[in-house]
Amino acid sequence: MFSLADISKTIDTWLRLHLNDTWTLVVEMVIAGVSVIGLFAVLGLVLVIMERKVSAWIQIRLGPNRVGPKGMFQSLADTVKLLVKEGLTPDGADKFLFNLAPLIAIVVAMLLMAPIAFAKNFQLWDMNIGVLYITAVSSIMVISVLMAGWASNNKYSLLGAMRSGAQIVSYELSAGLSIIAIVILTGSLSFNEIVQSQADGWWIFKGHIPVIIAFVIFIIAATAETNRAPFDLAEAESELTAGFHTEYSGMKFALFFLAEYVNVFIVCAIGATLFLGGWMPFHIGHWDAFNHVMDFIPSSMWFFGKTFFLIFLIMWFRWTFPRLRIDQLLNLEWKYLLPISMFNILLVTAMAILKWHF
């Protein structure tokens, strides 16, 4: 069967036959870096066309249908357009910070890829504090947004950046508490161990109602943290033109645009890993024959299938619900989601201590 782990082992074995340990490590790091950049490029193309097709399907229209078969090359045409566009910097802008902001956004997105297990025995860095690493590094993203808004010397950009800062800092609390619910049940911060703990059933099924509540809150908070509609107050076109990246064009705008879609993939990958078993196949208790059939499906297909299901869910949100006002958005977090999350943590803790889960 197709296996990403077998490919990585084959490359490692070949390199060790021809190079010493130091150069093997260097070459493997280069390959990993190039692979992540390539994955970014593919995700950007795939998720943009997916977004347009999903929105067209929900709104009962055609969507892109000119460039390529059924419009499948529309994303590629848009990428070429962004590559040839001139990158402008406003006269009153802080040029260094203005140019640094999009780079921080894309670098943070790349760092977040490290602990994610894309398949069985296949991840860039199997660290024992993967969950803590993800929550810590993801919080840096708000710096690039605030930097872009302030350095642009534009009132709309600054207002959008301040909105985004308030939004991300607020919803990080609920997202973090939802993640902690799974950490309590598994007793580990390692993504690999969290996936292994779901060998006899995904947490969304065996964790009862408290885990379902944590999952729903995580999806809502993740949608808000990635500045996706109906929580896209940071770039509300009807109020702030384009929010914190109003003054950006060309490749600088493309980096922000790419970082947004990659972040959507990352939060969905985290959600799939924590609640839906990650690369783990769908197993039911002692149904050995059924479980054996499920094992024939490659682990990478399970992971990407679950991740893209959650991406579809977030896109469904965007094209179904109208945009909230900023006061409604903050009220939802501080008056509803946060208290529910804190109470849910108590339920999960009691469930873990009493072993009420399957």
16 located within any domain: no
pTM: 0.92
Q: Domain limits at 242? A: 92-354
Q: Where are the beta strands (DSSP E) in the chain?
A: 117-119, 122-123
50 located within any domain: no
What is the spatial distance between Cα 198 and Cα 214, in angstroms, rounded to a whole number? 16
pLDDT number for residue 136: 92
Measure Cα distances from 247 to 154, 207, 236 in Å: 8, 46, 14
pLDDT number for residue 155: 85
pLDDT number for residue 90: 84
218 located within any domain: yes
What is the spatial distance between Cα 243 and Cα 326, in angstroms, rounded to a whole number? 13
CA angle 352, 355, 358 (to 5 degrees): 105
pLDDT number for residue 108: 93
30 located within any domain: no
Is 311 in a helix, a strand, or coil? Answer: helix
Four-point Cα dihedral 204, 210, 214, 220, nearest 10: 100
DSSP state of 118: E
pLDDT number for residue 221: 93
86 located within any domain: no
Measure Cα distances from 334 to 141, 216, 337, 341, 343 in Å: 21, 16, 6, 10, 13
For residues 74 and 64, the answer to whether their CB atoms sit within 8 Å is yes
For residues 285 and 192, the answer to whether their CB atoms sit within 8 Å is no
Four-point Cα dihedral 316, 317, 319, 320, nearest 10: 110
181 located within any domain: yes
289 located within any domain: yes
142 located within any domain: yes
pLDDT number for residue 48: 92
Residue 108: how many CB atoms within 10 A of its CB? 21
DSSP class per residue in 71-111: GTTHHHHHHHHHHHS-----TTS-HHHHHHHHHHHHHHHHH
First to last CA, the chain: 31
Per-residue pLDDT 10s for the chain (358 aa) are 567 778 888 888 898 888 888 899 899 999 988 999 999 989 999 999 999 999 999 999 988 888 888 888 998 998 888 888 888 888 888 889 999 999 999 999 999 999 999 988 888 888 889 999 999 999 898 899 899 989 988 888 888 888 888 888 899 999 999 999 999 999 999 999 999 998 888 999 888 899 999 999 999 999 988 888 788 877 666 666 677 888 888 888 888 888 889 999 999 999 999 999 999 998 877 788 888 888 888 889 999 999 999 999 999 988 888 888 888 888 999 999 999 999 999 999 998 888 876 6
Domain count, the chain: 1
Structure tokens at 312: 């579809």
